[in-house]
């Protein structure tokens, strides 16, 4: 099955899940799920790009670090990102996130994402798919 | 929660005796209905907390508890540094010192009703709220460090508020032991343009009517009179706290093995209090507490400015300011001996009883005000700490209604526009840039705050002083 993202319920916050053929694709899809916690990612135009690089002790640590690096950029740049080019090589992630400045009128962002957490954090290979998921604090 | 696994202590308290790796019991305060509705994850998380090194007394759970990160939200736990106790970034949470403050206005409800729409618009325009909003304040690196050390006292020195506000804030508005040099440049950058902003999610500003008084003497001392109006602000340490939480959670999780700490859940990431990492976290976390206090202080002044223009006869005085997500050093009696303990309150309110030396003189006789936020469109409460709270919960009480339903479920059930219209019919004005945000915060997605407050009082943690009902809600 090709890449996709989804949310799963958590008591107070939101679970995000990315699914793809590779860990990199699952990470990119999970990033869309982070955006979707705030606004519909299909309404986000690719007007500006931001480079993100990070490293992790293992794939789960890398996933935590990646999402939090992205959340920091969302907060500091006051942007939403809709598409992501992600590559992972030897424990290092390189990404280009494409998006635009938040428009309260057009995006109607529901919540601000505070951080990705270790709750329900998992990166695993299931059948043909790579699945990357965790709960984000909003 | 399956109550077959619990021992019932009283109508409003339950116990899980130590077993396996638990060092202390779990004590849960809730009535039968609240506990049966409580997520099983709350029990699991409270049991995990009970296994942490140096925990003293019990792993306590407040009546509004729900599934959190590592600790349940509504969890309280104290640790003894001399017994190898830990400090946990997960036990404090991402929104460090998220809290509530309430201002009395001296205005009768009728006066506010007469200009309610205009007041709502003025407040929504003047207090930056929602994703992507920016405050009018941008801090230089020097001012950032001064704010992180000075908290609300820093804000008052720069003209946001009154000196007399400070005695109505925990720690007199300035958390000692803050170390700005332990706060990363990433965290400071994230906060640079966020001072005086409300945030989003469950954060809000409400104009409320004092609907009922339950303790006339305490209400008088608190400045609360039935039929008058108060303003309540709920927000926290914004981007700075979130970033500190994110960074230290990871560092503590990676370092746990080296400290010989077995984490039943990575989110319980912690370090010994008497370690370089533990002390570094405490210095940064205390700076985040100051950031939250400064932020609520600035918003207070923005609110005062709006009232001065729209209803100049108002006299906005700070009733009190409480913080929820903290770790503070407090003296508590354990086995009849006073100990200095690192008390974590995660989604719980400090609730000192009458006579506590940290209370301002005017409130000392009545106990600490405990401000309990309800959901949008329902009621909020002012409680007061009780003497019994010290032995029961290290002087801690509930903090809000607590979610009963996920955001996902709420979105399926309600639309923002319908909710705004429904609440308008009940005389409540909602101002928010996001209708989806309104739907996610639907009153029906929260527990019944009255049940939470009743259980809190009947358990002996805090007693009812006044009930507040919303007139205007500004949400991010």
A 66-95: CB under 8 A from B: 68, 71-72, 75-76, 78
CA–CA dist B62, B156 (Å, integer):
33
Pairing of strands B55-66, B26-29: parallel
- Predicted confidence (pLDDT) per residue in B431-447, tens digit: 998 888 899 899 998 88
At A108 the pLDDT is 85
Q: Which residues of A touch B249 (CB under 8 A)?
A: 117-118
CA distance A120 to chain B (A): 10
All structural domains of chain B, each given as residue ranges with its CATH number in brackets, are 3-404+446-475 (3.90.1860.10)
User: Do B69 and A135 contact (CB within 8 A), yes or no?
Assistant: yes
Length of chain B: 476
- Percent of chain A's residues with pLDDT above 70: 99
User: Do A94 and A85 contact (CB within 8 A), yes or no?
Assistant: no
Measured in Å, how far apart are chain A's first and last C-alpha atoms? 29
User: Do B24 and B52 contact (CB within 8 A), yes or no?
Assistant: no
CA distance B147 to chain A (A): 19
Which among B67, B130, B254 is the nearest to A10, CB-wise?
B67
Q: Which residues of B touch A54 (CB under 8 A)?
A: none
CA distance A20 to chain B (A): 23
Per-residue pLDDT of chain B (476 residues; tens, 9 = 90+): 999 989 999 999 999 999 999 999 999 999 999 999 998 999 999 999 999 999 999 999 999 999 888 899 999 999 999 999 999 999 999 899 999 999 999 999 999 999 999 999 999 999 988 887 777 899 999 999 999 999 999 999 999 999 999 999 999 999 999 999 999 999 999 999 999 999 888 899 999 999 999 999 999 999 999 999 999 999 999 999 999 999 999 999 999 999 999 898 999 999 999 999 999 999 999 999 999 999 999 999 999 999 999 999 999 999 999 999 999 999 998 878 889 999 999 999 999 999 999 999 999 999 999 999 988 888 999 999 999 999 999 999 999 988 888 888 898 899 999 999 999 999 999 999 888 889 989 999 888 899 999 999 999 999 999 999 999 999 88
Which among B73, B246, B440 is the nearest to A111, CB-wise?
B440
Which among A13, A72, A138 is the nearest to B243, CB-wise?
A72
According to DSSP, residue A41 is labeled G
- Predicted confidence (pLDDT) per residue in B168-213, tens digit: 999 999 999 999 999 999 999 999 999 999 988 889 999 999 999 9
The residue whose two tokens read 């923005």 is B302
Q: Which residue of A has its CA nearest to B128?
A: A104
Residue closest to B77 by CA, chosen among B51, B103, B111, B40: B51
Q: Which residues of A touch B476 (CB under 8 A)?
A: 112
CA distance B381 to chain A (A): 21
- Predicted confidence (pLDDT) per residue in A84-103, tens digit: 999 999 989 999 999 999 99
Residue closest to B298 by CA, chosen among B202, B156, B201: B156
Q: Which residues of B touch A9 (CB under 8 A)?
A: 406, 408-409
How many Cβ pairs closer than 8 A exist between chain A and B? 126
For B331, counting Cβ atoms within 10 Å of its Cβ (0-12 exposed, 13-18 middle, 19+ buried), the class is exposed
Whether B138 and chain A come into contact, CB under 8 Å, resolves to no
CA distance A39 to chain B (A): 9
Contact at CB, A137 and B69, closer than 8 angstroms: yes
- At B281, list the tokens: 């976290």
A 21-60: CB under 8 A from B: 38-39, 57
- For the stretch B359-374, what's the b/e string if a residue is b when 16 or more beta carbons lie within 10 angstroms of its beta carbon? beeebbebbbbbbbbb
- Percent of chain A's residues with pLDDT above 90: 83
Contact at CB, A111 and B39, closer than 8 angstroms: no
ipTM of the complex model: 0.92
At A1 the pLDDT is 52
Cross-strand partners of B7: B15
Q: Which residues of B touch A38 (CB under 8 A)?
A: 131
CA–CA dist B388, B29 (Å, integer):
13
For B451, counting Cβ atoms within 10 Å of its Cβ (0-12 exposed, 13-18 middle, 19+ buried), the class is middle
- At B129, list the tokens: 């709220």
The residue whose two tokens read 């405050």 is B135
User: Do A24 and A96 contact (CB within 8 A), yes or no?
Assistant: no
Cross-strand partners of B331: B340
- At B23, list the tokens: 């060092």
User: Do B14 and B392 contact (CB within 8 A), yes or no?
Assistant: no
Q: Is the dihedral of CA B419, B423, B424, B429 positive or negative?
A: negative
Q: Which of B234, B339, B399, B408 is catalytic?
A: B399
Active-site residue, B234 included: no
Which among A11, A72, A109 is the nearest to B132, CB-wise?
A109
Residue closest to B98 by CA, chosen among B437, B443, B373, B369: B373
Contact at CB, B131 and A109, closer than 8 angstroms: yes
Whether B434 and chain A come into contact, CB under 8 Å, resolves to yes
Q: Which residues of A touch B267 (CB under 8 A)?
A: 117-119
User: Do B293 and B321 contact (CB within 8 A), yes or no?
Assistant: yes
Which among B130, B190, B408 is the nearest to A76, CB-wise?
B190
According to DSSP, residue A127 is labeled T
All structural domains of chain A, each given as residue ranges with its CATH number in brackets, are 4-131 (3.55.10.10)
């Amino acid at each position: 099955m090709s890449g996709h993202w989804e949310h799963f319920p958590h008591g107070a916050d939101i679970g995000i899940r990315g699914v793809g053929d590779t860990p990199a694709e699952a990470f990119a899809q999970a990033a869309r799920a982070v955006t979707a916690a705030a606004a519909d990612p299909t309404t986000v135009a690719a007007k500006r790009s931001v480079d993100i690089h990070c490293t992790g002790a293992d794939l789960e640590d890398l996933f935590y670090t990646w999402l939090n690096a992205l959340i920091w950029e969302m907060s500091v740049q006051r942007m939403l990102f809709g598409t992501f080019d992600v590559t992972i090589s030897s424990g290092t992630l390189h990404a280009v996130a494409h998006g635009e400045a938040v428009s309260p009128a057009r995006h109607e962002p529901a919540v601000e994402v505070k951080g990705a957490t270790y709750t329900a954090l998992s990166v695993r290979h299931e059948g043909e798919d790579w699945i990357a998921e965790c709960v984000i604090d909003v | 929660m399956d109550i077959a696994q619990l021992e019932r202590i009283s109508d409003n308290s339950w116990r899980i005796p130590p077993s396996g790796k638990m060092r202390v019991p779990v004590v849960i305060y809730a009535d039968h209905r609240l506990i049966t509705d409580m997520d099983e994850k709350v029990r699991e998380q409270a049991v995990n907390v009970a296994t942490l090194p140096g925990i003293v007394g019990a792993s306590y759970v407040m009546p509004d508890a729900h599934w959190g990160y590592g600790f349940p939200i509504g969890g309280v736990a104290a640790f003894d540094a001399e017994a190898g106790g830990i400090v946990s970034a997960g036990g404090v949470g991402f929104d460090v010192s998220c809290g509530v403050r309430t201002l009395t206005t001296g205005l009768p409800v009728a006066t506010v009703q007469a200009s309610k729409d205009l007041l709502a618009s003025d407040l929504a325009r003047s207090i930056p709220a929602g994703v992507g909003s920016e405050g009018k304040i941008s801090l230089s690196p020097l001012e950032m460090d001064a704010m992180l050390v000075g908290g609300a006292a820093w804000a008052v020195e720069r003209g946001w508020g009154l000196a007399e506000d400070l005695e109505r804030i925990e720690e007199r508005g300035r958390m000692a032991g803050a170390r700005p040099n332990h706060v990363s440049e990433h965290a400071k950058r994230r906060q640079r343009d966020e001072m005086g902003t409300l945030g989003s999610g469950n954060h809000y500003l409400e104009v409320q009517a004092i609907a009922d008084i339950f303790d006339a003497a305490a209400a008088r001392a608190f400045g609360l009179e039935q039929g008058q109006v108060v303003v309540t602000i709920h927000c926290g340490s914004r981007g700075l706290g979130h970033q500190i939480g994110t960074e230290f959670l990871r560092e503590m999780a990676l370092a746990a093995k080296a400290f010989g700490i077995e984490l039943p859940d990575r989110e319980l990431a912690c370090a010994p209090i008497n370690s370089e990492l533990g002390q570094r976290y405490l210095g940064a976390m205390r700076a985040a507490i100051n950031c939250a206090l400064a932020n609520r202080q600035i918003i207070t002044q923005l609110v005062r400015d709006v009232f001065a223009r729209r209803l100049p006869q108002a006299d906005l005085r700070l009733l009190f300011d409480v913080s929820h997500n903290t770790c503070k050093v407090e003296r508590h009696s354990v086995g009849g001996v006073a100990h200095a303990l690192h008390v974590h309150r995660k989604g719980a309110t400090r609730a000192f009883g009458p006579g506590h030396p940290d209370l301002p003189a005017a409130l000392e006789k009545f106990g600490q005000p405990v401000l309990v936020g309800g959901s949008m469109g329902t009621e909020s409460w002012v409680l007061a700490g009780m003497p019994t709270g010290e032995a029961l919960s290290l002087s801690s009480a509930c903090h809000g209604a607590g979610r009963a339903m996920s955001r996902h479920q709420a979105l399926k059930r309600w639309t923002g526009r319908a909710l705004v219209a429904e609440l308008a019919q009940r005389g409540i004005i909602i101002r928010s840039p996001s209708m989806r945000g309104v739907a996610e915060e639907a009153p029906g997605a929260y527990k019944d705050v009255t049940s939470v407050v009743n259980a809190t009082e009947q358990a002996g943690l805090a007693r009812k002083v006044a009930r507040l009902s919303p007139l205007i809600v500004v949400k991010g």
